[in-house]
Structure 1
Amino acid sequence: MLRPLLTALILAAAPAGAQQVAFGGMSADASAPVEVAADNLAVNQADGSAVFTGNVVIGQGQMRLAADSVTVEYADSGQSRIRSLHAKGKVTLVSGEDAAEAAEAIYEVESGNVTLTGDVVLTQGQNVLTGNRMTVSLTDGTAQVEGRVRTILQPGNN
């Protein structure tokens, strides 16, 4: 179900700053398994990280994150629990019918927060919202967009 961008109407009066919007049509389960697919994998035992490159696609519940490369940081040396994912290059985040694009993204798995930076574009149906930085809470399905926020709202859309 597409969530409306009704609160985005304020943007005309506030072109810079922050804007709270709905994201994903549903909240995600941050405790769900994280599935990663990529062309290549390099593991660094010394710092407890893994780097996936080439057509990286990460899934967790209804959320999908795609990028050129993703660095996975583990919470412990046994590499059994993921702390964060740092995606770079042509980052796309999809949840429900909402999609966001950016240059980079950091997903903090335990908190369920995804921070996208660099020419962020959020698309919800025909509505488009842009900014420099967007923080998405997958636990409650909200997002906050900051830095020269702009929007295009299509009349008659819910």
Structure 2
Amino acid sequence: MVRAFLLAALLAAPALPVLAQGTEVAFGGMRQDSSLPVEISADQLEVSQSDGTALYTGNVVIGQGEMRLAAPRVLVVYGEQAGRIDRLEASGGVTLVSGEEAAEADQADYDIDAGTVEMTGNVLLTQGQNALTSERMVVDLDTGTAQMAGRVRTVLQPGEGNGTGGGSQ
């Protein structure tokens, strides 16, 4: 429901629309220490020793430091080193939250070693009252920036209280 409201507001809002093929945006002060432990909770877990994966399904929530990722399905791919996670592949509608910023997409891949999260398919990024949409967004957790591509649309709310610092909501 929140996504439908945000998309409707994004499409109908006349406030400062910006259209571009690709853009880089700050993803808040979201700098993630990829060496922190990854905590995963879900309704079900299937482990495959043959290919070194674990499939979490049903209300999956993943936390690492201040970052939270939620999805119906997450495949965890382990590295050759015992217990070491190489990447997480989330699908079925993914939400990534850090502080006051949130991003939604059809799927997301988190490469732990590279410190990147690639979100694809109907990406919606909200920063306070501002919203950006695209088909693909790559978040660099080391620098706290995101690169958006694929018909980017931005709606910026002018004035105080817009979630970009200053004012109250």
Between the aligned partners of 1:148 and 1:113, the Cα distance in structure 2 is 21
Partner of 1:147: 150
Could you tell me how far apart the structure 1 residues matched to 2:71 and 2:111 are?
Answer: 16
Tell me the distance in 1 between the aligned counterparts of 2:147 and 2:95.
17
Name the structure 2 match of 1:54.
Answer: 58
Task: Answer yes or no: is the 8 Å Cα contact 1:24–1:94 preserved in 2.
Answer: no
- Per-residue CA distance 1:24-48 (angstroms, 9 max, x = gap): 3231101100000000000011000
- Equivalent residues of 2:17, 2:155 under 8 A apart: no
In 2: Cα distance, 1:44 partner to 1:67 partner:
20
Kindly state the Cα deviation for residue 77 of structure 1 after the two structures are TM-superposed.
6.3
2:103 corresponds to 1:100: yes
Are 1:117 and 2:113 an aligned pair?
no
Pick the aligned partner of 2:132 from 124, 129, 132: 129
- Residue 65 of structure 1 aligns to a residue whose secondary structure is strand
TM-score when normalising by structure 2:
0.83
For residues 24 and 40 of structure 1, what CA distance do their matches in structure 2 show?
Answer: 33
- Asked whether the 8 Å contact 2:17–2:156 carries over to 1, the reply is no
Unaligned runs of 5+ in 2: 1-15, 165-169
User: Partner residue of 2:46?
Assistant: 42
CA distance in 2, matches of 1:28, 1:63: 7
Equivalent position to 2:36, from 12, 32, 42: 32
RMSD (Å) for aligned C-alpha atoms: 1.4
CA drift of 1:122 comes to 0.1
Report the alpha carbon displacement of residue 95 of structure 1 after superposing the two structures with TM: 1.1
Letter in 2 for 1:102: A
Which whole-Å deviations, capped at 9, do the CAs of 1:10-37 have from their partners, x for residues lacking one?
973xx34211001132311011000000
Structure 1 residues not aligned, in runs of 5+? 1-9
CA distance in 2 between counterparts of 1:120 and 1:18 reads 13
The 5 Å alignment of 1:6-21 reads: 12=18, 15-21=19-25
| 1:67 matched to 2:47 | no
Mapped to 1, the partners of 2:43 and 2:81 lie a distance apart of: 24
SS of the residue aligned with 1:17? strand
Equivalent position of 2:141 in the other structure: 138
For 2:32 and 2:109, locate their aligned partners in 1 and report how far apart those are by CA, in whole Å: 16
Q: Deviations over 1:137-156 (max 9, x none)?
A: 11111001100100111011
